Amino acid sequence: MGIDKNLISSLFVHADTALIHGQRLGELCGHGPVLEQDIALTNISLDYIGRARLYYDLISKLEGNNKTEDDYAFHRIESEFKNLLLVEYPNKDFAYTVAKQFFIDVFYYHFFLQCVESKNQEIISISQKSLKETAYHKKWSSEWIIRLGDGTDISHQKMQNAVADLWMYVGEMFVPTEFEQAVIKENLMADLLPIKSLWEAEVKDIFSIAGIKQAENNWAQSGGKEGNHTEYMGYILSEMQYIPRTYPNMIW
């Protein structure tokens, strides 16, 4: 059996999204608004890094190249990454961090619910583990959306601003690339179209409780899943890859 390039590309979308999102959250270690939330964000970051490792391990097996997760994380250039653009966006403040986390959590909760029905047993195993983590992540981010949105005038405005600025990046989650369409037809990974309506309904419910207005502009940025990234991506990789590229094969 030949290498399934469509499946590998699809797995890279979620591996790279998990890695870059985990890296962004890791930037907040020691900088959270309060100690408890600092620890919570660090733990969520580690969950995402762990998820990326699982996907990279599966990709390595499918490619049969004996690469490790370090090879995929630290020795690829910007255009080889297939992550969602949303996770590249900086954590300007706690409201941006929460909004971005919430959008991703709701998507992945429904994504993994579908993926546990995959024809691929390894995808099922990753999805089952990730679903448990994502259920906690979603609870955390939903509660903070409500807490900030229904809090003070300042916290409400910060939350509203974050939602408005990030909204242009959410649409990419639901638009399948050609390689994703092929994988969906084979029942290997989740169909993105049904997830969109579930995501919209859940987001609308939480926003209603929080008093947050949903952005009216449905225009969406795209390209991340095909290797076209924002101006932020190069800076992320420069920081993340500096040590392994400067000291290759170093053993710590």
Give the pLDDT confidence of 78-98 residue by residue, as tens digits.
Answer: 999 999 999 999 999 999 999
Pairwise CA distance, residues 60 & 4, whole Å = 12
Looking at residue 109, its pLDDT comes to: 98
Mean pLDDT of 235-241: 93
1 has a pLDDT exceeding 50: no
- Environment class of residue 191 by beta-carbon count within 10 Å: exposed (0-12), middle (13-18) or buried (19+)? middle
What is the pTM for the complete model shown?
0.94
Pairwise CA distance, residues 225 & 105, whole Å = 18
Q: What is the pLDDT of residues 144-161, one digit of tens each?
A: 999 999 999 999 999 999
For the beta carbon of residue 74, count every other beta carbon within 10 angstroms.
16
Q: What is the pLDDT of residues 175-224, one digit of tens each?
A: 999 999 999 999 999 999 999 999 999 999 999 999 999 888 778 899 99
Q: Cα torsion at 178, 217, 233, 160 (round to 10°)?
A: -140
Determine the 3-state secondary structure of 186 from DSSP. coil
For the chain, list the domains and their CATH numbers: 5-246 (1.20.1260.10)
Cβ distance 50 to 135 under 8 Å? no
Looking at residue 2, its pLDDT comes to: 58
Out of 16-25, 37-46, 163-172, least confident range: 37-46
Q: Is the dihedral of CA 218, 219, 225, 229 positive or negative?
A: negative
What is the CA angle 224-226-228, rounded to 5?
Answer: 50
Residue 98 parent element (H or E)? helix 94-115
Contacting residues for 184 by C-beta, under 8 A, at least 6 apart: 176, 190, 191, 192
